[in-house]
Amino acid sequence: MDMNVLIPLLQTVDSAFPTGGFSHSLGLEAFIQHTGTGRCAKNFGILKHAFVCILENSGSLSIPFVRAAHSAIVNRNVIKSEQTEHHTLVQLDKMCETYTTNHIARRASTRQGKSFFEVACFTYSHLAQELRSAIVDLPHCHLPVVYGAILAGLGVDENTTLTTFMYCVVRSMIATAVRLDVLGAMEGQKVQFLLQQLIPEILDRNRTRSVGDACMKFPVIDVLQNTQDTLFSKLFYS
């Protein structure tokens, strides 16, 4: 990969990139409270199951939108054949809003999407000129749509874009588990390494999934996340 692409990519996926991701638990906090999962060896299987469910849902629901948004930017000046699926960023954003039925997840996605867009355009001045007109009109700014568009604008290829999106999901899950004290810092790194090995398989199963086929494979974690606002005590916004 071109170093002029790789270095900004590393900056973008770094946890220090201020997109507000640390305010959102991806439904993990509600899951832990409702299942009573604590920090002990016997509960690790339950926690690992939650991790896998979140990863699978991200692959089947979000990856199609990341891929389509990336394609919309890369191919914006290319004439599409009638057989090729093509959506504008506005259409993708509206579809993502419709498909994200959980109001907590929808709120988290739009907040992070707006933050990601603002920080990226502030950091990379050329993006502000190239993509602002394409993204500024988005009615909701869902994170998968914005992420795919921004990385395409940075010149990152599709496969790397999808892989880093899933990496960010894993990274956020582990950071959440450590902050909730169900994993230790060192243990979290070990679990993250194991979960990262699932990314290629998840991508292979969802790489060709169209946005029309985007879905939630494991609805229980989504239902539990829907109760985030009703938790008596909580550390995360979603």
- HSE-CB at 194 with a 13 A cutoff on CA atoms is 11
Residue extents of the structural domains in the chain: 3-9+43-77+84-229
CA distances from 122 to 12, 91, 232 (A): 12, 25, 37
Binned at pLDDT 50, 70 and 90, residue 40 comes out as low
Distance of alpha carbon 140 from alpha carbon 109, whole angstroms:
9
pLDDT digits (tens, 9 = 90+) for 90-122: 999 999 999 998 999 999 999 999 999 999 989
Distance of alpha carbon 58 from alpha carbon 202, whole angstroms:
9
CA distances from 124 to 12, 19, 44, 130, 208 (A): 10, 15, 41, 10, 30
CA distances from 233 to 33, 82, 204, 229 (A): 9, 52, 39, 10
The proportion of the chain whose per-residue pLDDT surpasses 70, expressed as a percent, equals 92
> What is the mean predicted confidence (pLDDT) over 1-29?
88
pLDDT digits (tens, 9 = 90+) for 143-189: 999 999 999 999 999 999 999 999 999 999 999 999 999 999 999 99
Number of Cβ atoms within 10 Å of the Cβ of 50: 23
151, 207 Cβ separation under 8 angstroms = no
Identify the CATH number of the domain defined by range 3-9+43-77+84-229: 1.10.4190
pLDDT at 80: 46
H-helix or E-strand spanning residue 48: helix 44-57
**Encoded tokens for 66:** 């990341």
**What residues contact residue 41 under an 8 Å CB cut-off, 6+ apart?**
none
Residue closest to 226 by CA, chosen among 110, 112, 109, 104: 104
Distance of alpha carbon 119 from alpha carbon 218, whole angstroms:
32
pLDDT at 24: 87
Distance of alpha carbon 114 from alpha carbon 118, whole angstroms:
6
Has residue 77 got a pLDDT over 90? no
